[in-house]
Structure 1
């Protein structure tokens, strides 16, 4: 592999995650390395006794109580990943930790919600959990078939399970080359990226060894250390120490990572892979020739001079033979290119953390990437006297015994990482400092309002993550714009949601700490409500025009069409640039008010649509229906502007009159109404609007007041939707007939008929101008939907308020898009807040399209898993698993005789609950418990079907189980079969 200056053929490390002994994250591992801490836990005899060590172990002088332990390996966020409790208990913790690590690594890279060609190359060690915990608990796994045990514990499924759970469609390959596995996975991942097989790649491994007692049996000339310390390159190096760990990196082509604004921690210049073959003393022995060959091949692939490599992270197991062979091989490979001595530092993570087996290579790579990025080489600990069996003076290498700053003499910092697997598979990787164009920028002040979306599977997770994010902003270690960008583009959207807005880091942090997450039980049914005349005000478009591109483009398009018809005063009034007196007069005029409302509402709706907001219904009140129809593509914006301008001009030419809001029902108002007045609108069960002459309205209001009925005059100067409009109807019809109308592409609910509009015509628009506005009937469609959400697309809150006042069964969420008059400067924030509330309410939208300015994907606090104990305790003996009958592999244990006399068992529901509990390992279940929400899948459904048919004496089909997803519905289906003479029951 050759590398050009633009990084076109190199691969960037853009994210990582891991858990290590005494360090539950990559940052904590790095802190420990800089402090030179050993992370191995040492147990004295009393501690071993407290852990249940038998006397044979306590009295064995050869037993060494040292182990690199991971904390809390028993716990897992099963619900987040769709595992049932039973499935989680039967799954190897290596698979579970690897899955969590993959989630965190993608989040760290800013690709947490990535669905697409992401490859997975992963590895695990041997499953001690299967041997000692699962098979040792025969009673617990008796209800599982062999396939379930295989899927949860065989190495084959480590990568494909991640790809399935995270919806990743690139190559998914489990890599097994012993302790070089994870670095081999990195090599294969880079090749997959460069070959175009994937856009991203995950590479890593998990090792969870489960010794009965923490420690190991030491034997002379074996691979384990006699004193519980690993001493790479030291004269006292006599072995390694076993340890657990899990780590993954996220990789991407460097040029694409730079172009996409990813955080590039370092780049992989090149790598190589080979095997020793038989050129060594034995199968498990290292090979000098094999290591020389792979190191030389990696240098060629990277096309770098080894004199420019300042650090080598060695395999460095701290064994007598292995270290010397490795040092000699490195020296021979480098001496082919340079005569310089002592210029390259060498070290090994194993001195700190022990031997992580399958996870060793990727963990060493992460250490090296951080060293290259930060310009610091951590100390390689436990090396007091470098091994005397090696000629250090004539070698390029020196052990880095103290943490030291690293400034490359010329060019970027470069390092190398080795991984040598028992059995002979060797890999060597060359790492280079990220290009200058990908360096991390300094945090900057947020420009303009930002929407910061946070979601999680539980309320507690959202609250914890919000607090962590606020802390990062308060520390000043992340830019608010980059945080908003990363959360929008690079995190999954889960069922508990919280969205805050702000223009400064301090403002956003404060709101994050005070936020209250909302649960989205189901997808929302959104109705866009477009208000009519009465809520508009001068300058209402100004700040939206400055802040949002789509709004600005649509506004320009519409005002350009309106200029010949309404004059430039309309645009100036909406943008707040007209003389205040002129603007007030214009907004008071129907001629200007109607096109002004249309333009702002339609531009707002188009802005929302550009963010991926897709309404189920559109409802427009009077003039608002034109914006709804135009959004539904009934006519072009230019035609809609022309028709609205004509409508406003003609209505403005009618005789001056007024309108009166009356707090009573339509029927009661009809009974009291004098013949000189008309009901113009019905906005709710107790909200009508009456139109007529001013004197008549005043008289009617006084009469109603005496009867205790509340009224309110509206700020309009015409009697819309009344006989006062009759003189202009013919001319408006003639104008309306000059336009072409298409069938609505979205569902517009007519406020003329209260029903969906099938098609528009000139006659429709004439009747819509003159006849009564039946808003309440139209809005009833929105209220009747499940999880209704109302969005007022335009100024004011009149329509959402009206709907909420009569929605008695389920009060819908109401969202406003514009601030009140006098607060126009808050309009961009108000619109972003509206988008945030929509998202919190379950409305689908494209969070990534909401950014007011471009940002970068940056590392943010990790998602806080809601981990619970899912664990089968080890048993002293390991029974042999029974082999199920081939024809009944899905059955739940031994076949019981089918019920005879009790086939009409009344407690069918209880029997179904018991079967579910046995299969899923679930505790409290109710009639509405959902099989798939509890972690059921197709495999478990087959076993559930067999158990229901056998235990209850029926013959359900698989479709019955898959479609009747709840306990209650399955119980009902079973009762119907039991009670029906022609049921599909077994012939007993």
Structure 2
């Protein structure tokens, strides 16, 4: 995109995720901020007891029990991210939260987190807490210092996300204390602008563990009342808070081109250090802060006068607040702005100081303000700090929620974050550009697909989506569909929903009873008898891919037939069209064109058949799809075939409910013949009208069910022998090629061979040979793996017949369009079938759904993690205190059977089910690292240290026990 209005340094924030006190989504976070909610609270007695080891809490008034608490910090969906229960318990809750937020942020940006296009980088930082020390105290079985460090040190934060999500860009841990997460945003932006990555995750996380209050010290940094009063006369320090925030960044031009949900624009950012220009290492500097703000304005190419709000660092310390206002005043001074014209605030007044996550909290708050075009209140401000003369500055603390007016120019905001040690960061944000209008909302139905790792998660996911749709009735269905189809990872348990539901009905969410597999698809291509006037008209009008292929076929048929098939198929006079389509010279070309167009509609969306069966005319469609015939040759062949058959004497056909052995006894092979075997007791007889009428009367007398088949000839019987020679002559001049897709021939009832496919005589004999559909289907079922049978024509005759053999196959048989005799929604039916295919595990290329117009992504509910508690607490807690998922004790040193002791090691290292008698090390989540830990335990317990390969070669308890017993066996005395 070469839009001159896009500033070259501009970045788009396209996704955000967070965990802050009282909020687990940006929307809830914004609702609390906009409503002026103070989310800082005391720890409960239960929390303090569990984390203090039962020690009494101090009664000293200097002890302050307040903190910005993120609840459920030990809860984690370990299986989702591939962790055993034991490894999840060792993993620092900060690392877990950052991993979850990274996944959610990408999903909220409309991208599958495990398959983001291009190169993705990760920039972020975590605070150090005491959880690693608690893990060490519990001495996890086989976990050495290296394993504990890997699970807890902040240096591994970003590499862990890159590993778990498969991201190949830079994974850089940022460590600048309080400014960490905004510095991470700056560094990620530089990487994007330099081309190091195409998408970047940036943010930070901080969780205080163990849970405890703090001691207030006079002249210290902590608040005596446990509240942050930024810029207020009563400000006396900070209160700490938990938090995690991650944003997804892309180059703005790329985001606009790709239809990303641009939440806000980062016009520019800057980072510097105070150096020695401050009285002490932990003290801030006016000059350093002022310079970083000026630098950010310069990078952004904006004037301070265009900034409508500043989200300040705002810690609420008596010294820091006046320095920050002085620095801002200096940076904005040249703009000559009126006093109080720029509102400022600090999110720390709502949630506390979240340390390494503080910059992300400020950024996300400001993005939400820009999106909602409102100035949010900053809490705890009654009177200004006496060291701040606001009347001499352009700033005023925002104390009430109000609309953010910005007539004639885009809304812009500054965001500051300053770290102990002098690392200063400032970013200039701008509201997202208006998305170009896309015209009226289409009434065409759309397919919403969902998937999850567990049935429970899928049920929750479906409920969350329906709730979202009810609360956001203005969401465009095509945007929701594209986001769900291409922006979510495909898990085993799947469901789909065609939206909108039919008038007067409730949304019906179809879900799979079992995880999706990897099935093959077999196309069932129908022959004559399934076509009606007006059928596929909706597909032609609303599905561009179908229309393009059908147009191609009809244009090729025009000189062959001297008519335009579209005028018959979609005629305004269905009566006349119906009469024309009853004539075989038009019916067969029309059916070929529709069968071929439907099949191509599927293949163009990635549904490629592994096998095919074509019924009568349908076999020529299969041959064309398999490359035996080119499309022009197939059209010429079908045209001649239809003309030859139209010139044959009149005949009749009768469907008979008898097995083919009985039917063969009823025909003479000359004037009455077996025309088709469609099922175990479904056959078709054809012959002269008189002989067919006689047979029908005889069967009626015998109580055998039969019915006439709408056809004007004795097709697929020896009565068609005169047509064979005419057809053979044409085929001899056509180039026939070996098939590129295997299919079962209904001429032979067996897999087509190259020799048959390229033999004109073989194809000519089709006219007089019975259609062996049931034997062909039996061959397919017997010689291919379980899969899906998909009828790629306008009816459901073949898919219905395929269901008559339930004992021989677990295959699902699906029609593309359903029952053609009923009026219905063809596009909805096609989408419903696509949903069923996807549920079964068939890959569908959703990106081809709208090839003519890229559809924007939207922010939708994210994966509902199925969390369980994975925590250890300081030892010596009271026996009555409940402990969920605590770490197991190390292996008992007492002697015992080798097998029993190794089983205990498996349970301790992997956290596997104690009911498993012979668990498999790797099936229970083990990897090379835990295998090393297992060999360490074996050495400690038995005095033998088998090589690591032993665990890979003997991964079960019984196999490994046999090896250990052999290694420890003493030699028999001589």
The answer to whether the superposition gives a TM-score over 0.5 is yes
SS of aligned partner of 1:717: coil
Structure 2 counterparts to residues 811-960 of structure 1, below 5 A: 811-821=810-820, 823=822, 826-851=825-850, 855-876=855-876, 916-923=906-913, 934-940=924-930
Structure 1 residues without counterparts, runs of 5 or longer:
878-891
Query: In structure 2, what is the Cα distance between the partners aligned to 1:978 and 1:689?
Result: 69
- Find the partner of 2:126 among 116, 124, 127: 124
Q: What is residue 29 of structure 2 aligned with on the other side?
A: 29
Of residues 763, 766, 788, the one that matches 1:765 is: 763
Equivalent residue number for residue 488 of structure 2: 491
Alignment match, 2:537:
542
User: Could you tell me whether the CA contact under 8 Å between 2:669 and 2:718 is conserved in 1?
Assistant: no
Correspondent of 1:268 among 250, 258, 266: 266
CA shift, 1:262, in A, is 2.1
Kindly indicate whether the alpha-carbon contact (under 8 Å) linking 2:721 and 2:767 is maintained by their aligned counterparts in 1: no
Match in the other structure for 1:888: none
* 1:469 Cα deviation from its structure 2 partner: 2.2
Q: Contact 2:52 / 2:874 at 8 angstroms: preserved in 1?
A: no
Note if contact 1:443-1:479 (Cα within 8 Å) is conserved in structure 2.
no
Q: 1:591 aligns with which of 561, 575, 585?
A: 585
Residues of 1 paired with 2:870 and 2:128: CA distance? 19
User: Are the aligned partners of 1:239 and 1:319 in contact in 2 as well (CA < 8 Å)?
Assistant: yes
Say how many residue pairs are matched.
950
1:34 shift after superposition: 1.2
Q: Which SS does the other structure have where 1:466 is aligned?
A: helix
The question of 1:680 aligning with 2:675 is answered yes
Give, in angstroms, the shift of residue 348 of structure 1: 0.6
Greater CA drift, 54-63 or 352-361: 54-63
Instruction: Name the counterpart of 1:467.
Output: 463
Aligned to 2:883: none
Higher deviation after alignment, 215-224 or 498-507:
498-507
**SS of residue in 1 equivalent to 2:719:** helix
Give 1:725 shift.
Answer: 1.7
SS of 2:527 mapped into structure 1: coil
CA separation of 1:945 and 1:641: change in aligned 2, threshold 3 A:
farther
Distance 1:365 1:288 in 2: 22
Provide the rounded CA distance (Å) in 1 between the counterparts of 2:171 and 2:820: 57
Q: Decide whether the 8 Å contact of 1:453 with 1:488 is kept in 2.
A: yes
In structure 2, the CA distance between the partners of 1:560 and 1:50, relative to structure 1 (3 Å rule), is closer
Secondary structure, aligned partner of 1:472? helix
Q: Give the C-alpha shift of residue 45 in structure 1.
A: 8.2
Q: 1:217 to 1:601 in 2, by over 3 A?
A: same
Separation in 2, partners of 1:681, 1:593: 19
When structure 1 is superposed on structure 2, of 292-301 and 928-937 the one drifting more is 928-937
> 1:38 is matched with which residue?
38
Change (3 A) 1:932 1:252: farther
1:621 pairs with one of 594, 615, 626: 615
CA contact (8 A) 1:450 1:481 kept: yes
Cα deviation for residue 733 of structure 1 reads 1.1
Deviation at 1:515, TM superposition (A): 4.1
**What's the CA shift for 1:607?**
1.0
Aligned pair in 2 of structure 1 residues 974, 790: CA closer, same or farther (>3 Å)? farther
CA distance, structure 2, for counterparts of residue 614 and residue 789 of structure 1: 11
The CA deviation at 1:682 is: 2.7
Partner of residue 754, structure 1: 749
Whether contact under 8 Å (1:461, 1:866) holds in the other structure is yes
Equivalent residue for 1:721?
716
How far apart, in 1, do the equivalents of 2:357 and 2:638 lie?
68
Q: Is the 8 A contact 2:259 2:854 kept in 1?
A: no
CA distance in 2, matches of 1:522, 1:30: 41
Equivalent position of 2:386 in the other structure: 388
**Secondary structure of the structure 2 residue equivalent to 1:806:** coil
Residue in 1 aligned with 2:18?
18
CA distance in 1, matches of 2:202, 2:685: 70
The 2-side partners of 1:538 and 1:553 are apart by 20
Secondary structure at the aligned position of 1:57 is classed as coil
Query: In the superposition, relative to structure 1, how do residues 372 and 842 fare at CA in structure 2: closer, same or farther (>3 Å)?
Result: same
* Equivalent residue, structure 2, for 1:449: 445
- Report whether the alignment pairs 1:606 with 2:600: yes
Alignment of 1:38-77 (within 5 A): 38-42=38-42, 57-77=57-77
What SS class does the counterpart of residue 461 from structure 1 fall into?
helix
The Cα shift of 1:427 comes to 0.8
Per the TM alignment, residue 849 of structure 1 is displaced from its structure 2 partner at its CA by 2.6
Counterparts of 2:516 and 2:948, CA distance in 1 = 27
Kept after mapping to 1: 8 A contact 2:669/2:717? no
Pick closer, same or farther for the CA change 1:986–1:291 going to 2, 3 Å.
farther
Counterparts of 1:686 and 1:958, CA distance in 2 = 61
CA contact under 8 A between 1:543 and 1:824: conserved in structure 2?
no
Q: 1:893 to 1:54 in 2, by over 3 A?
A: closer
Following superposition, the deviation at residue 711 of structure 1 comes to: 3.3
Distance 1:930 1:798, change over 3 A: farther
Matched position secondary structure for 2:349: helix
| C-alpha distance 917-12 of structure 1, shift in aligned 2 (>3 A) | same
- Distance in 2 (CA, whole Å) between partners of 1:418 and 1:211 is 29
1:811 to partner: Cα distance: 3.3
User: 1:209 Cα shift?
Assistant: 0.9
* Partner Cα separation in structure 1 for residue 785 and residue 859 of structure 2: 38
Tell me if the contact between 1:272 and 1:295 (Cα under 8 Å) persists in the aligned partners: yes
SS in 2 for 1:226: coil
Match of 1:328 in 2: 326
- In structure 2, do the counterparts of structure 1 residues 976 and 596 end up closer, same or farther at CA, with 3 Å as the change threshold? farther
Q: Normalising by structure 2, what TM-score?
A: 0.90
Q: What secondary structure, in the 3-state scheme, does the structure 2 residue paired with 1:429 have?
A: strand
Whether the 8 Å contact between 2:179 and 2:359 is mirrored in structure 1 is yes
Equivalence for 2:728: 733
Query: What secondary structure is seen at the aligned counterpart in 1 of 2:154?
Result: coil
Counterpart for residue 479 of structure 2? 482
Question: How far apart, in 2, do the equivalents of 1:397 and 1:34 lie?
Answer: 20
RMSD (CA atoms): 3.4
Q: Counterparts of 2:332 and 2:827 in 1: how far apart (Å)?
A: 60
Q: How does 1:498-647 map to 2 (within 5 A)?
A: 498-503=495-500, 510-512=506-508, 514-568=509-563, 570-577=565-572, 579-647=573-641
For the residues of structure 2 that align with 1:260 and 1:945, how far apart are their CA atoms? Answer: 50
Alpha-carbon separation, structure 1, partners of 2:935 and 2:667? 67
What SS does structure 2 have at the residue aligned with 1:41? coil
Q: What pairs up with 1:276-315 in 2 under 5 angstroms? A: 276-315=274-313
Q: Which residue of 2 aligns with 1:883?
A: none
Alpha-carbon distance, 1:383 to partner: 1.3
After TM superposition, give the deviation of residue 212 of structure 1 in Å: 4.2
Aligned to 1:105: 105
Q: CA deviation at 1:737?
A: 1.6
Question: Equivalents in 2 of 1:870, 1:435: separation in Å?
Answer: 43
TM-score by length of 1: 0.89
Q: CA deviation at 1:688?
A: 3.1
* CA shift in 2, pair 1:776/1:447, >3 Å: same
**CA deviation map 1:465-505 (0-9, x unaligned):** 22222223323252323222221232222222111213469
In structure 1, what is the equivalent of residue 149 of structure 2?
150
| 40-49 or 350-359, larger mean C-alpha shift | 40-49
Query: Could you tell me how far apart the structure 1 residues matched to 2:292 and 2:302 are?
Result: 15
Which whole-Å CA distance do the structure 2 matches of 1:360 and 1:302 have between them?
Answer: 22
Q: 1:941 Cα deviation (Å)?
A: 5.1
* Structure 1 residue 203: Cα displacement: 0.8
Per the alignment, residue 880 of structure 2 pairs with none
Is the contact made by 1:7 and 1:255 (CA closer than 8 Å) also made in structure 2?
Answer: no
Partner residue of 2:179?
A: 180
Change in Cα spacing, 1:123 to 1:894, as seen in structure 2 (3 Å) is: same
CA apart distance, 1:414:
1.2
Structure-1 residue corresponding to 2:116: 115
How far does residue 769 in structure 1 lie from its aligned partner after superposition?
A: 3.2
Residues of 2 paired with 1:544 and 1:688: CA distance? 32
Choose 800-809 or 951-960, whichever is displaced more: 951-960
1:855 aligns to what SS in structure 2? coil
Q: Tell me, which stretches of 5 or more residues in structure 2 are unaligned? A: 878-888
Residues 308, 343 of structure 2: 8 Å contact kept: yes
Say if 2:648 is the partner of 1:659: no
How far apart, CA to CA, are the structure 2 residues paired with 1:71 and 1:861?
A: 20
Determine helix, strand or coil for the equivalent of 1:922.
Answer: coil
SS in structure 2 opposite 1:641? helix
SS for the counterpart of 1:511 is coil
Conservation of the 8 A alpha-carbon contact between 1:115 and 1:169: no
